[in-house]
């Protein structure tokens, strides 16, 4: 024990040193070193000394002090928190996360630790835990009653109540940045990213140092395809907190979406060098490697993720989804064991089921494979709000609206640009192969599945809530020639970020077939190619595919059959009202008479023949879709009729497709040779 007079001196000197730390870290460190020698073993002094060491760049020395401190005082929450901060500077993320969890366990009302824990969970791509931590951080800020009501309602899924409470509070307190950020978070949860972006921009105007809001802002920008803007915001965050892995991970993901894979790979490698135990970073690293054709390294990254997280379904599915990889017997046994564990998330359960099904299919155990495909799809279907009736109604609405009179009255409208080549259809219909063929031409650049057309259609629809009726496409009737031209020019401008300068580029978002009317209207000189495949082959291939986002119709054989039927009906309609506008490539005909079909395709696009298009598999461009490895090989016919192995299970699909759709395809599975 120290005399009371000494303790008073200690408290005064320690307070002065901690205040001095803000102005002169070196002087503060010198003062704290003296205190440490005078008051040996005092926890408060050791804590302050460790903070000073960290702020003076002596982070390893700080950790030595903190290790001693937590051994002396294992219930000193602030010591664990400081150790977590020091660990993060040294990129020891796993230990830092553990220290933060200890901090909030010891001191549940320690708001800064919850904020840091939210960052740490986000960096490990655990959004559920991250959101809970962030919400706890906000709750500890002693929110006003209305905002507490909004926070509670949002946590319980009562979004309308949360929004109403938040707006009522903002009506009286329009500059409260916590409320603005909370309202933006509500917008993010319901997919209103444009509104969330505006709110967060306002939030940052009022509070430029509100890093939580700035990270949310960067995230919202990525969800709207504004990746360059997101990187700019992340660089601002990294300038003040360069050791936050969450910022690095989102920046790498933004580079990936821009098609800039090398800087993304460098970020992932740096993160993994500093902290090797990061299974989800290994996953993202594997995805980037796969996309640029470094398959062996991608496989190694995926298997490292499996090693570190044996129940991580996405790691197994990523291996299976390479299509050219055969999973081992040990991996099959590991997946079977993992699926029996009760604590699996729905995503892990679904991905493990899909991966196990693919492994069993490779072993020609088709009945068992189908069972697991069905189980994985059922998990996804339960998470989806897809309605086949709504899709049919939307199709019928488009057919009724986009008639020949509508287009005739607007002939010559739109932007003049001939640059885009749209490849549309259903997923797994051969669109990646067509893209690879065209991208092997010297005048054409392959990009990716671009979200711009769908984004424009949603904006035109004006929906604020999922239950609202979209104004699209009917509102197009009220737009003038200048408005339509502006839409086309906006599309061209927004897609420049994906291009490097060739005369033509490919947008292969398959679902754009729903927007052919808008595409023709705003870009009358663009090319549109319909990638068509036998309905049973196409639909069942989609049913076997785990889609990370979207394609909600694919989780049921009945739903995917109905979706295909609507697709055929809509394409027939555009063939009738815009004859010759869409060029159709039948996958089965393409693989049977490859050169002739490639020449027809190039003729439609107005491109001179180049032999490189026939040797598309030599093109080393990045390919992001599930067919990335298949299009690096010559065309093969083996998989054309592979769906027949599952024919006993396909009655629901055939019923949903209907006899009219199936009658177009001969019993041998071939289709008519795609006409213009």
- How many CB atoms sit inside 10 A of residue 323's CB? 13
In a 3-state reduction of DSSP, which class is residue 25?
Answer: helix
Domain boundaries, the chain: 4-212, 225-309, 415-462+473-662
In a 13 Å sphere around the CA of 536, the CA atoms on its Cβ side amount to 28
User: Do residues 566 and 573 lie in contact, with contact meaning Cβ atoms separated by under 8 Å?
Assistant: no
Of 430, 428, 432, 438, the closest CA to residue 614 belongs to 438
* Whether 256 contacts 283, CB under 8 Å: no
Q: Are 387 and 464 in contact (CB under 8 A)?
A: no
Q: What pLDDT score does 417 carry?
A: 96
Q: Which DSSP symbol is given to 9?
A: H
SS (H, E, C) 505-561: EEECCHHHHHHHHHHHHHCCCCEEEEEECCHHHHHHHHHCCCCCCCCHHHHCHHHHH
> Residue 444: what are its φ and ψ, rounded to 5°?
-125, 140
Query: Could you tell me how far CA 500 lies from the centroid of its own chain?
Result: 23
> What's the N-to-C CA distance of the chain in angstroms?
93
Sign of CA dihedral 245, 250, 253, 258: negative
Q: Are 529 and 519 in contact (CB under 8 A)?
A: no
The answer to whether domain 4-212 and domain 415-462+473-662 are alike in fold is no
* CATH level 2 (architecture), domain 225-309: Alpha Horseshoe (1.25)
What does the pLDDT average to over 608-631?
68
pLDDT of 621 higher than 50: no
Going by the DSSP 8-state scheme, the letter that residue 645 receives in this structure is G
Q: How far apart are alpha carbons 62 and 83 in whole angstroms?
A: 8
Q: Which residue in 333, 329, 336 sits closest to 353, CA to CA?
A: 336
Q: What is the pLDDT of residue 636?
A: 58
Collapsing DSSP to helix, strand or coil, 248 comes out as helix
Residue 635 binned pLDDT confidence (cut-offs 50, 70, 90): low
**619 band by pLDDT with thresholds 50, 70 and 90:** low
- CA–CA dist 541, 587 (Å, integer): 13
| Residue-level pLDDT at 189 | 84
Amino acid 125: pLDDT: 64
Q: What sections of 73-110 are H helices per DSSP? A: 77-89, 93-106
Kindly state which CATH superfamily the domain 415-462+473-662 is placed in. Answer: P-loop containing nucleotide triphosphate hydrolases (3.40.50.300)
Q: What count of residues does the chain have?
A: 676
- What pLDDT, on a 0 to 100 scale, did the predictor assign at position 14? 79
pLDDT at 143 over 90: no
Supply the DSSP symbol for 411: T
Q: Which of the four pLDDT bands, split at 50, 70 and 90, describes residue 638?
A: low
State the Cα–Cα distance between residues 79 and 82, nearest whole angstrom. 5
The whole-chain average pLDDT of the chain stands at 88
Please tell me the distance from the alpha carbon of residue 273 to that of residue 77, in angstroms, as a whole number: 29
Helix (H) or strand (E) holding 472: none
Question: Among 589-598, 604-613, 614-623, where is mean pLDDT lowest?
Answer: 614-623
Asked if the model's pLDDT at residue 245 lies above 80, the reply is: yes
Least confident of 6-15, 129-138, 222-231, 475-484: 6-15
Among 7-11, 244-248, 518-522, the minimum mean pLDDT is found in 7-11
- Top-confidence residue, 555 or 132: 555
Which tens digits make up the pLDDT trace of 259-297?
A: 899 999 999 999 898 888 888 899 999 999 998 889 999
- Name the CATH superfamily, with its identifier, for domain 4-212: Tetratricopeptide repeat domain (1.25.40.10)
Residues in Cβ contact with 436 at an 8 Å cutoff, skipping those fewer than 6 apart: 446, 616, 617, 619, 621, 623, 631
List, in sequence order, the alpha helices (H) in 363-428: 366-382, 388-401, 404-408
483 pLDDT more than 90 = yes
Share of the chain above pLDDT 90, in %: 56
Residue 639 pLDDT more than 90? no
Residue 544 near residue 484, CB atoms below 8 Å: no
Provide the pLDDT for residue 572.
Answer: 96
Phi, psi dihedral angles at 584 (to 5 degrees): -105, 135
Q: How many Å apart are CA 610 and CA 602, to the nearest integer?
A: 9
The pTM for the full model equals 0.74
**Residue 634: band (very low, low, confident or very high) from pLDDT cuts 50, 70, 90:** low
Where residue 321 falls (left for φ over 0; alpha for ψ -120 to 50; beta otherwise) is: alpha
What are the CA-CA distances from residue 297 to residues 294, 351, 437 (Å)?
A: 6, 21, 26
- Res. 669 pLDDT band, cuts 50 70 90: very low
| Residue 674: band (very low, low, confident or very high) from pLDDT cuts 50, 70, 90 | very low
């Amino acid at each position: 024990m120290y005399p009371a007079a000494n303790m008073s001196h200690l408290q005064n000197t320690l307070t002065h040193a901690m205040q001095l730390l803000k102005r002169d870290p070196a002087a503060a460190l010198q003062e704290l070193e003296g205190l440490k020698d005078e008051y040996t073993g005092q926890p408060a002094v050791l804590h302050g000394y460790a903070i000073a060491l960290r702020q003076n760049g002596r982070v390893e020395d700080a950790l030595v002090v903190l290790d001693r401190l937590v051994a002396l005082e294992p219930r000193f929450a602030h010591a664990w928190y400081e150790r977590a901060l020091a660990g993060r500077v040294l990129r020891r993320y796993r230990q830092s996360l553990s220290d933060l969890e200890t901090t909030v366990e010891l001191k549940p009302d320690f708001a800064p630790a919850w904020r840091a824990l939210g960052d740490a969970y986000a960096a490990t791509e655990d959004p559920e835990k991250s959101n809970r931590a962030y919400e706890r951080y906000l709750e500890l800020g002693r929110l006003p009653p209305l905002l507490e009501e909004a926070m509670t309602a949002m946590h319980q899924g009562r979004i309308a109540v949360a929004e109403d409470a938040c707006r009522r509070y903002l009506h009286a307190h329009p500059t409260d940045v916590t409320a603005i950020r909370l309202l933006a978070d509500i917008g993010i949860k319901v997919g209103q990213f444009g509104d969330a972006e505006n709110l967060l921009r306002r939030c940052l105007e009022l509070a430029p140092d509100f890093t939580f809001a700035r990270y949310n802002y960067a995230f919202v920008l990525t969800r709207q395809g504004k990746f360059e803007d997101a990187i700019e915001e992340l660089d601002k965050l990294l300038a003040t907190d360069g050791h936050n892995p969450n910022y690095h991970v989102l920046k790498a993901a933004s580079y990936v979406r821009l098609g800039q894979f090398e800087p993304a790979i460098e970020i992932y490698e740096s993160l993994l060098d500093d902290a090797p135990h990061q299974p989800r970073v290994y996953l993202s690293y594997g995805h980037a490697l796969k996309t640029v054709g470094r398959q062996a390294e991608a496989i190694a990254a995926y298997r490292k993720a499996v090693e570190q997280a044996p129940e991580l379904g996405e790691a197994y599915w990523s291996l299976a989804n390479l299509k050219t990889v055969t999973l081992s017997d040990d991996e099959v046994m590991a997946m079977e064991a993992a699926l029996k564990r009760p604590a699996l998330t729905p995503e892990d359960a679904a991905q493990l089921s899909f991966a196990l099904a693919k492994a069993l299919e490779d072993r020609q155990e088709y009945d068992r494979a189908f069972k697991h495909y069905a189980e994985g799809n059922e998990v996804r279907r339960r998470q989806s709000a897809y309605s086949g009736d709504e899709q049919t109604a939307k199709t019928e609405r488009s057919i009724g609206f986009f008639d020949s009179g509508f287009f005739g009255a607007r002939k010559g409208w739109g932007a003049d640009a001939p640059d885009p080549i749209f490849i549309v259809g259903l997923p797994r219909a051969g669109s990646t192969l067509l893209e690879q063929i065209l991208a092997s031409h010297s005048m054409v650049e392959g990009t990716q599945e671009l979200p711009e057309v769908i984004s424009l259609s949603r904006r035109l629809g004006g929906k604020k809530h999922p239950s609202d009726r979209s104004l699209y496409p009917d509102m197009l009737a009220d737009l003038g020639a200048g408005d339509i031209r502006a839409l086309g020019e906006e599309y061209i401008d927004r897609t420049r970020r994906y291009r490097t300068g060739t005369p033509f580029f490919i947008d292969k978002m398959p679902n754009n077939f729903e927007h052919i009317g808008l595409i023709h209207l705003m870009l009358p000189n663009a090319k549109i190619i319909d990638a068509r495949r036998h309905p049973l082959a196409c639909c069942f291939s989609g049913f076997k595919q785990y889609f990370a986002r979207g394609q909600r119709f694919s989780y049921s054989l009945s739903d995917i059959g109905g979706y295909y039927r609507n697709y055929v009906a809509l394409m027939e309609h555009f063939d009738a009202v815009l004859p010759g506008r869409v060029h159709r490539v039948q996958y089965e005909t393409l693989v049977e008479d490859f050169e002739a079909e490639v020449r027809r395709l190039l003729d439609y696009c107005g491109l001179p023949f180049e032999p490189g298009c026939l040797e598309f598999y030599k093109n080393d461009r990045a390919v992001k879709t599930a067919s990335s490895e298949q299009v690096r090989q010559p065309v093969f016919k083996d998989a054309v009729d592979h769906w027949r192995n599952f024919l006993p299970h396909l009655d629901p699909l055939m019923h949903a497709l209907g006899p009219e759709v199936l009658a177009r395809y001969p019993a041998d599975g071939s289709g008519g040779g795609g006409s213009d």
